Amino acid sequence: MESEKFLDEMIEIGPYEYMDHFMDEAALLVAMDNDGKPNVMALLWKTIGELWMIPVITIAVAPSRFTFELLTKGASEFSINIPSHKIVSAVNITGSYTGRNTDKFEKAGLNLVNGKRTNIPLIKDCILNYECKIIHACESGKMASHRLFFGEIIAAYASKDIIE
């Protein structure tokens, strides 16, 4: 199975390893509806840290985004994928179209593999992949009209390309 081969090419890491890559690069966020159909969006507003002594990735998503609908009405998980140089152009493509009427995976040439510990797929050709389960959400307040989603990091993987 391709998922097993992909995960063999990745090294499972601790949630806070290679944070410089996580912070410096845009991400591809994958969310899924209740029928198992995934969507991807470009994501810049993200942090990594702890909440209640649990490792979390916090993301900010505007209510106007299709991904917002999936995160609030779909599966309660998401994946964060930091693209390698091979697929960095996918950030512009996935940020320029809506998943309501476009298959952004096909348009950006992205390949999915099954997550190991969640039902949300991961994106191949990334330097980092995180499987997350939503544990909390709240409004961002007066700073922006976004909702913050806090995802417990269930598993994290790094490409052998960035491991020294």
pLDDT at 159 (0 to 100): 94
Q: Note whether 146 and 64 are within 8 A (CB).
A: no
pTM of the model: 0.93
Q: Is residue 164 part of a domain?
A: no
Give the type of residue at 23: M
pLDDT tens digits, 67-113: 999 999 999 999 999 999 999 999 999 999 999 999 999 999 999 99
Write out the residue range of the structural domain in which residue 148 sits. Answer: 2-159
Token digits for 56?
Answer: 């979390």
Sequence-distant (6+) residues with CB within 8 A of 93 are 104, 107, 108
CATH code of residue 73 = 2.30.110.10
Categorize the per-residue pLDDT at 31 as very low, low, confident or very high, splitting at 50, 70 and 90: very high
The answer to whether residue 16 sits within a structural domain is yes
pLDDT greater than 60 at residue 123: yes
Instruction: Return the pLDDT at 163.
Output: 85
Q: Over 29-52, what HEC string results?
A: EEEECCCCCEEEEEECCEEEEEEC
Domain presence at residue 12: yes
Q: What is the DSSP letter of 164?
A: -
Do the beta carbons of residue 131 and residue 75 sit within 8 Å? Answer: no
Q: How many domains does the chain have?
A: 1
Q: Determine the distance from the C-alpha atom of residue 40 to the mean position of all C-alpha atoms in its chain, rounded to a whole number.
A: 8
